């Protein structure tokens, strides 16, 4: 069982930055593929970025070059640095852990608006 707790969401102006963090409670964090997903109102949940246990990353086309995912295996955390934010990035952002099972955090709201 893995519990995930996100933090760092909020309101930011277009062009601004936010850093999301996700803390995992598990005895073994390193093997998990960690990811960030988001869900905007009226839309399906979509992948934002993932990072493997070895640090290989993959990004959705809409965020590539603006967002950076990273992990700290010692601290059992995964972060999402979001730069050059756009109104269309507004969504609830969810942390995800995947190995034999899939686990989700409760989500954190990100609102990009002037």
H/E stretch holding 94 reads strand 91-98
Q: Can you give the pLDDT at residue 1?
A: 85
pLDDT averaged per 10 residues in sequence order, the chain, 114 residues: 94 98 94 97 97 96 98 96 98 96 97 97
Nearest one of 12, 114, 34, 27 to 80, comparing CA atoms: 34
Q: Can you give the pLDDT at residue 58?
A: 98
Q: Can you give the pLDDT at residue 67?
A: 98
Query: CB burial class (10 A; 0-12, 13-18, 19+) of residue 66?
Result: middle
C-beta of residue 47 within 8 angstroms of C-beta of residue 55: no
């Amino acid at each position: 069982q893995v519990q995930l707790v996100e933090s760092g969401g909020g309101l930011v102006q277009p062009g601004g930055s936010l850093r999301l963090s996700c803390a995992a409670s598990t005895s073994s964090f390193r093997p998990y593929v960690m990811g960030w997903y988001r869900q905007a109102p009226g839309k399906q949940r979509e992948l934002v970025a993932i990072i493997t246990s070895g640090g290989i990353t993959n990004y959705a086309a809409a965020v590539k070059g603006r967002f950076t995912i990273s992990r700290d295996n010692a601290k059992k955390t995964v972060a999402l640095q979001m730069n050059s934010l756009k109104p269309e990035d507004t969504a609830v952002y969810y942390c995800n852990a995947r190995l034999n099972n899939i686990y989700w955090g409760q989500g954190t709201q990100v609102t990009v608006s002037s």
